[in-house]
Structure 1
Amino acid sequence: MPNSGEVDPASTTSSVTGGRRIVRRAVYLAGAAAVGVAALGVIVFYVGPESNTLIIASSFVPLMLGVGLLGLFVLAATRSWRTLAVGVAVVLAGAFTQAPLFVSNTPDTVAGEGIRVMQANIRLGEADPDALVDQVRSHSIDVLTIQELTDSAVQQLDTHGLAALLPYRFVEPKDGGGGTGIYSRFPLTEQESLGRFAMSNLVATADIGDGRSVTVASVHPMPPYPSPAWMWASEMGKLNGLLHEQAADGKPMIVGGDFNSTYSHSRFRAILTDGFTDAAEQTGAGFVMTFPADTWYPALIGIDHIVTNRATVTHFERIEIEGSDHHGLVATVTPHFDGT
């Protein structure tokens, strides 16, 4: 008979085995949950929810798929083969949704002269005007689309030389983030508000010479948060219709804006039909994250876009906008005219 102070080896072995099972089960559940996150990402990519929570989730589909990928390694470590097989299918389905962003559609040669376009949200007019004008100068920008433009920002940008670089303008400055503008090296005609929105959305015709013209729009629909989800959905639908109406005249079109939507939002992709193309997708630039730009961690979502119709984007890059919570975008856009 063992002494009362001795430990029963069978009891110890059983306890260790039970502990391992608990840990293995917890690890398995973590891996399965990660695959569930990726599955949610696939669902919200295709479904156009009118829920603030799900709309915001749609913004993070690439990150959700990354979580799912980590989940596959966890499931493999626990040898949960059936769940792993399901997870692989989910992650592959998610990868399929994002693949167009990594495949360039730009031809090797493009006829015509390119227009240098810059998109910038300047955060309530607080971006550094000198740095912004320097970006315009250093990138030889021809057309600037700008959001959250205030009266003060208009004056400061002129003081720092923007008027000399881009002498033509169509601006509707406002406080509170609702102001919008188009600055151009080319004369601007047919200036008008693009429908009625909570924030200004503008459209104008840029006369680029030789009797040729390009439609330019600067857009800023409402964000899905903190505004109601239905408002965001309504403005995205309205913007879709108005942009396609503008393109119906057959002129090349360039749209720069803070769309408050990512490529993973179905309502943004609905715009990308009938010849409209996102510059990131056309050039195969992949994930171009633009917000937030004022934090210690990298930007997590891409809500700023340059979208074109009847045009080819041959160069596309993200740039810094000092003092803003958005990164800017620069693209070289070659319009297509009859016979080119």
Structure 2
Amino acid sequence: MTSTPPVTGRPTAAPATPARPRPRGQGWLVTLGLMAAAPALLATGLRVLQPGSERLAKLASFIPYGLVFWLPALILLALAAIRAWRRGASGRAALGALSLACAAGLAATVAWQAPAFIPDGRPATTDPVTVVSLNVAQAADPAATARALSGADVVVFAEAHRGWVDSLPERFRAEFRYLAPADGSGEEDDADTVVFSRHPIVSAEALPPSNFQQWSAVVRLPQLGPVRVVAVHPCNPYCRPGLWMQDAAQLRAWLAEHRGTMPMIVAGDFNAVDDHRTMQALYDDGFRSAADLVGAGFVRTWPANTRVPPMIGIDHVLVDDRLTASAFETFGVPGTDHLGVRAVIAGTTG
């Protein structure tokens, strides 16, 4: 009987487990998620670092638009991470980490932006005062301007040369009999700030010289008593290098020196958005935006003379801690590239 020879050699290896295929469309989800995260990350960096250079300040003007991209970035990358974890696909840990980073960016965005949409709730303890600010760009229609400002108590104009001031209708000059400076502006072609009031102006003072001459007026308001109204228009980031920060620092120092004796309202074209370092410095000093106090949200005022709606908010009304705001709105006037801002202000104990 013939026996079967033993089998020799290496044992047969078990078949390898095939790698699980990547979910269909995963590459698109990741690519689009990273593309959305890029502007959000840039905007967050600008918001945290608050650069002082003019070039980066121009980019920082659009921080809110960049921050909103955290939401689509989070949705896309989180969806990609969930699909990767369910299938055990490679890269799932990295996608999970990216999703957490996007969630953190979105949380920071909400923390930064939400207060602008939530009313402060500080109680008004006096009758209200209406303060209006408008950059007339040396060319706003005088009659339309007068109509838009009817009913205001105090009016601040920026870029208002003497010729434009003289062109205002007689009915406006009759309603707002007091102004600072007393002659309406500087030289004929100077585009300075001007304060008009229907109530007596007790005193006026020119701020230190800058690209535009700025003025302060002490107005005796029946609702509040003496109030310092500062009409501002510091230089923009397109001025010569260094002047934007220099003007802002000079204005901040002047305001700090003149605070404490009476309530203060600072209104005009600040050439800065809320996220800029120059505005954040004023908020650190205790000033509050009338728009934020009423929860007006993302207010945009420039440019206002194109088919596209205004993109950024550089016109503001700020108040110190002795004042609050109960209403805020913007309005348009033909001939200028700015929207005007109107704030209803009162005294407070909050």
> What's the TM-score once normalised by structure 2's chain length?
0.82
Q: Equivalent residue for 2:10?
A: none
For residues 275 and 161 of structure 1, do their structure 2 counterparts lie closer, same or farther at Cα, with a shift above 3 Å needed? Answer: same
2:345 aligned residue (321, 328, 333):
333
Number of equivalent positions: 313
Structure 2 residue runs without a partner (length 5+)? 1-20, 82-94
Q: Equivalent residue for 2:289?
A: 278
Question: Could you report, residue by residue, the CA deviation over 1:285-322 in whole angstroms, capped at 9, with x for unpaired residues?
Answer: 11111111112121111110000112111111111122
Aligned pairs for 1:16-55 (under 5 A) are: 24-25=26-27, 28-55=30-57
Structure 1 counterpart SS, 2:335:
coil
Aligned pairs for 1:1-340 (under 5 A) are: 24-25=26-27, 28-79=30-81, 80-107=95-122, 109-123=123-137, 125-137=138-150, 140-157=151-168, 159=169, 161-170=171-180, 171-173=184-186, 178-209=191-222, 212-228=225-241, 230-249=242-261, 251-309=262-320, 310-335=322-347
Amino acid of the residue matched to residue 104 of structure 2?
Answer: A
Structure 1 counterpart SS, 2:283:
coil
Contact 1:118-1:143 at 8 Å conserved across structures: yes
Question: Could you report, residue by residue, the CA deviation over 1:37-82 in whole angstroms, capped at 9, with x for unpaired residues?
Answer: 2122122123231322311122111101123323333334544443
* Residue identity (%): 30
Structure 2 counterpart SS, 1:297:
coil
- Determine the C-alpha separation between the residues in 2 that align with 1:294 and 1:71: 33
Decide which moves more: 315-324 or 113-122: 315-324
> What's the TM-score once normalised by structure 1's chain length?
0.84
Q: Equivalent residue for 2:17?
A: none
Contact 2:163-2:188 at 8 Å conserved across structures: no
Amino acid of the residue matched to residue 114 of structure 1?
Answer: P
For residue 99 of structure 1, report the CA deviation from its aligned partner: 2.2
For residue 275 of structure 1, report the CA deviation from its aligned partner: 3.5
Contact 2:163-2:189 at 8 Å conserved across structures: no
For residues 227 and 177 of structure 1, do their structure 2 counterparts lie closer, same or farther at Cα, with a shift above 3 Å needed? Answer: farther
For residues 99 and 185 of structure 1, do their structure 2 counterparts lie closer, same or farther at Cα, with a shift above 3 Å needed? Answer: same
- Determine the C-alpha separation between the residues in 2 that align with 1:239 and 1:175: 24
Contact 1:41-1:94 at 8 Å conserved across structures: no
Question: Could you report, residue by residue, the CA deviation over 1:128-169 in whole angstroms, capped at 9, with x for unpaired residues?
Answer: 1111100111xx101001101022211211x35320111111
Runs of 4+ in 1 over 3 A off after TM superposition: 23-27, 76-82, 173-178
Q: Equivalent residue for 2:5?
A: none
Structure 2 counterpart SS, 1:300:
coil
Contact 2:125-2:347 at 8 Å conserved across structures: no
For residue 279 of structure 1, report the CA deviation from its aligned partner: 0.7
Decide which moves more: 276-285 or 301-310: 276-285
